[in-house]
Structure 1
């Protein structure tokens, strides 16, 4: 097709010359198509739309980001706006507790209180990062939601703190600062993990920059609302403060829940892997092809609250070989050794499986070992029956049967788009064993 465009004083006319199917009496024929006139208003709207896109969206959007990018950013911007209003109310309460506007308040007293707040937050963030940094990637969604819940709790403490004695105010302020520090660590790290998921064209920096621009715009709108809210607080009193705070907090939590819920990640973490294994065996044993292992379905069913993650299998991957206990089963590929220490107990509902990995094992071997371990945990009763009736030989045979099913499981995951050769989020430790020659 050959196109020509002419522009008039009040808009433009685009004329396209298109080739069509030849007729019997001619070799070629052409169709002339003329679009409508575009007024200057239309052109200005297009330019404004392009400017906004350049300001707040990554270059080459939407092909350069994940499919859930827009939905997540809408929910995330909404929650940030509600959080900004709550933050204004919390800041006002903190200043009130520090004695701003009171003649009896001293600058030194406010400084000491502020120093205690800041130091407690710094210490808390260091301790939290020490204990939980390794799980922030694997449980990115859960920590993201946890951080926002903790943020609301911290702001609630800041608002109620002026109602108590000076000593209680200092304690609540320090605890609020501690929670804010934990929110800072969990929130920033999980945000980075989500940006890695969203960037699809080696454009991590661009996605981060535009996400920051969106955040600054929302914060600017939040500041404007903060001016309005602050003036209304002095007029309506504490009833208005609490009513607005409760409403904004509820909206903030709802927006955060749906923001995390809409994220569709292709990587395997313990929660998603457990759901994949359970659903695979449910269909495989019925001699039917697994049809509910799509990324959208699995991500939608993922547990987002930590108290529900207690149901995850107790599997330790990459442990030192001296921590293995009898009975021990070596995988058919000799890339892993399984320790089922609790299997000899009467109650095997709390089966704890430890896996030692060979230094020669690949990423696929690690995922294979996890598949066997999660399958054993899912059907621990049957596992114990094999061990009781046939001893370690029967146990080895049963686990070899599970391992032989892994190629079918792997093909199913590949067909659904999962990164089934990536074990980085399965919480694998770094210990490896090597045979003594």
Structure 2
């Protein structure tokens, strides 16, 4: 009947973008659909979204996804342009357009370039592969900076014909390192962004976005290439402009990422904030302060999962290491070398590793900060600092033994507040090595 209010039977929604209601007409005979929000028919915007964004966006990805992808798109475009300039230079260097050049010489140059790159890829993955997860942001920035250096070497290579092969081979090694570190860190960031076990979908759509950007860069290069050919000054100017844009966009991209797992840098910032203010800041507060460039002056070097001989030199060291210690790790400090080594018990989990990292960072704070500024454990920390000044043993066993009791008091609070603040503690990126040991807990000799 006209004017009679329709009865809503049920409703549904498609992600966060579409809301639909099913209503019953006044005569009670017909079920029809009433939509709120976008029309059901695919518009241009919805088509673009379905092609280039993960299904269920934005609910299916992390909150930093869009800002990261925008800057990642900018850097990919800039890299595509500089890559075209490098390709043009390499082709010129191997003899394209030179009637005196031979196919054999060009082929040998390309084979040597690719071969050295393959060797470099294997060596870098062997030496640094286990560290890429721990500092994904740093290595992503490193990879893009190294890529720009490799492109610069390829652009200037034709100006040095006597060492052209050497330059392109070194550039090939650099690009192989870029491939390993860039690909591995991209996988780590994709895992962070995928919030519905949809890592494959997020990765696939990221590939589609990059392909679209590279296509745009290719079309733009069709305009630039004729202008830059034979014009060295313009080539260098374009390289400088797009490289600056590339580096800036990469920096902004990694700065936009808000990781909710702990690595050593984020744990250090968390512990410092916890001791000074008595609270654990959330990931969105810690991540912008995480250092992205190599630290030239690290106060203490912290190593997790080390073999026992890195801590124990004698039975005396063993007795001191387990004093007041009922934890799943043994910790040793050498003040002269500035190294904290932590041996993990067989079966130690992520929470134990975070506790060991917290213990090591606490020692670092005691050695290098004024405990009177602490809000948490101030009295105990002040007493420990006084003991540090009088202790003559370079291994500081008395202080280490005393800090076990302090960790017992502070760590449960830090752990609970960290979880409440949004940090993941079931896994971490503290970079623990694979050594695991077995020893009896103090007071339980039979275990």
Q: Shared fold (TM-score greater than 0.5)?
A: yes
Deviations along 1:23-62, one digit per CA (max 9) or x if unpaired, are: xxxxxxxxxxx999x9xxx969952122111100111110
Which whole-Å CA distance do the structure 2 matches of 1:400 and 1:153 have between them? 50
Q: Tell me by how many angstroms 1:413 deviates.
A: 0.8
Partner of 2:125: 129
Q: Tell me by how many angstroms 1:196 deviates.
A: 0.2
Deviations along 1:208-237, one digit per CA (max 9) or x if unpaired, are: 111111111111111111111112224x82
Q: Tell me, which stretches of 5 or more residues in structure 2 are unaligned?
A: 1-5, 10-19, 25-33, 369-381, 441-445
- Kept after mapping to 2: 8 A contact 1:318/1:431: yes
Partner of 1:302: 290
Partner of 1:10: none
Q: Tell me by how many angstroms 1:389 deviates.
A: 4.7
Gap change, CA 1:298 and 1:62, over 3 Å in 2: same
Out of 160, 164, 175, the residue aligned to residue 164 of structure 1 is: 160
**Secondary structure in 2 aligned to 1:311?**
coil
Which whole-Å CA distance do the structure 2 matches of 1:410 and 1:312 have between them? 24
Gap change, CA 1:339 and 1:395, over 3 Å in 2: closer
Q: Tell me, which stretches of 5 or more residues in structure 1 are unaligned?
A: 5-13, 19-33, 285-289
Partner of 2:221: 226
Gap change, CA 1:114 and 1:368, over 3 Å in 2: same
**Secondary structure in 2 aligned to 1:337?**
strand
Deviations along 1:87-107, one digit per CA (max 9) or x if unpaired, are: 111100110111100111111
Partner of 2:438: 434
Which whole-Å CA distance do the structure 2 matches of 1:119 and 1:142 have between them? 27
Partner of 2:273: 279
1:369 paired with 2:370, answer no
Which whole-Å CA distance do the structure 2 matches of 1:394 and 1:227 have between them? 67
Deviations along 1:378-412, one digit per CA (max 9) or x if unpaired, are: 21267574256578455422331133210111122
- Kept after mapping to 1: 8 A contact 2:121/2:177: yes
Which whole-Å CA distance do the structure 1 matches of 2:258 and 2:92 have between them? 43
1:420 paired with 2:418, answer no
1:409 paired with 2:411, answer no
Out of 160, 176, 180, the residue aligned to residue 181 of structure 1 is: 176
- Kept after mapping to 1: 8 A contact 2:118/2:176: yes
State the TM-score, normalizing by the size of structure 2. Answer: 0.82
The 5 A counterparts of 1:332-347 are 332-340=325-333, 342-343=334-335, 345=336
Out of 238, 250, 253, the residue aligned to residue 247 of structure 2 is: 253
Partner of 2:321: 329
Q: Tell me by how many angstroms 1:367 deviates.
A: 1.3
**Secondary structure in 2 aligned to 1:379?**
helix
1:262 paired with 2:234, answer no
Partner of 1:24: none
**Secondary structure in 2 aligned to 1:129?**
helix
Deviations along 1:112-156, one digit per CA (max 9) or x if unpaired, are: 111111111011111111100010000100000000000000000
- Kept after mapping to 2: 8 A contact 1:89/1:159: yes
Gap change, CA 1:78 and 1:119, over 3 Å in 2: same
Q: How many residues align?
A: 393
Gap change, CA 1:351 and 1:181, over 3 Å in 2: same
Which whole-Å CA distance do the structure 2 matches of 1:258 and 1:388 have between them? 43
Out of 90, 95, 107, the residue aligned to residue 91 of structure 2 is: 95
Which whole-Å CA distance do the structure 2 matches of 1:311 and 1:51 have between them? 50
Which whole-Å CA distance do the structure 1 matches of 2:177 and 2:109 have between them? 19
Gap change, CA 1:15 and 1:367, over 3 Å in 2: closer
1:84 paired with 2:80, answer yes
Q: Alignment RMSD, CA only?
A: 2.7
Q: Tell me by how many angstroms 1:310 deviates.
A: 4.7
Out of 64, 71, 77, the residue aligned to residue 67 of structure 2 is: 71
1:112 paired with 2:74, answer no
